[in-house]
Amino acid sequence: MANLRSLISAAEAGSADYDSVQHGANVKPEKLPTAMTIDEIRAWVAATPGQNHAIGRYQFIPPTFERLASLTGMAGTELFSADLQDRWADILLAEAGYVSFFTGDLTPETFIDNV
């Protein structure tokens, strides 16, 4: 999945990679995303309503961020590290049908729509 994650990252994050913050965010976090904890990102989102909050290599938006944090049992003190972001991306790709696509049971068009 690493090659697919890299392709997604090129479109979503560009050169900022794991430390990307959506360019439309008027108020950026005070620290790089990979230096922030889950709770620090939550606090930034809460403190800056009405702006785009997509963050990280895969541009996680708040509802997805919260769902994945809950799904993976995050306490809030964990860093939003590269490893964590990749783990969350793998979950999303699996949910989109990566295995079915890879084995030919899902069309490329359907997989892309799911992603």
What's the burial of 112, exposed, middle or buried (CB within 10 Å: 0-12/13-18/19+)?
Answer: exposed
Residue 112 pLDDT more than 90? Answer: no
Residue 37 pairs with which residues in a beta bridge? 79
Angle of helix 2-12 relative to helix 82-95, nearest 10 degrees, comes to 100
Give pLDDT, residue 115: 87
Range of the domain at 34: 2-114
- HEC string of 40-55 equals HHHHHHHHCCCCCCCE
In this model, does residue 43 exceed pLDDT 90? yes
d(CA 66, CA 76): 10
d(CA 26, CA 32): 15
pLDDT in tens, 47-102: 999 999 999 999 999 999 999 999 999 999 999 999 999 999 999 999 999 999 98
Confidence of residue 1 (pLDDT cuts 50, 70, 90): confident
Q: What tens digit of pLDDT does each residue of 12-38 get?
A: 999 999 999 998 999 999 999 999 999
Q: Which residues contact 96 (CB under 8 A, 6 or more apart)?
A: 111, 114, 115
Separation CA 6–CA 70 (nearest Å)? 25
What is the per-residue pLDDT across 2-14, written as a single tens digit (0 to 9) for each? 999 999 999 999 9
**Domains held by the chain: number:** 1
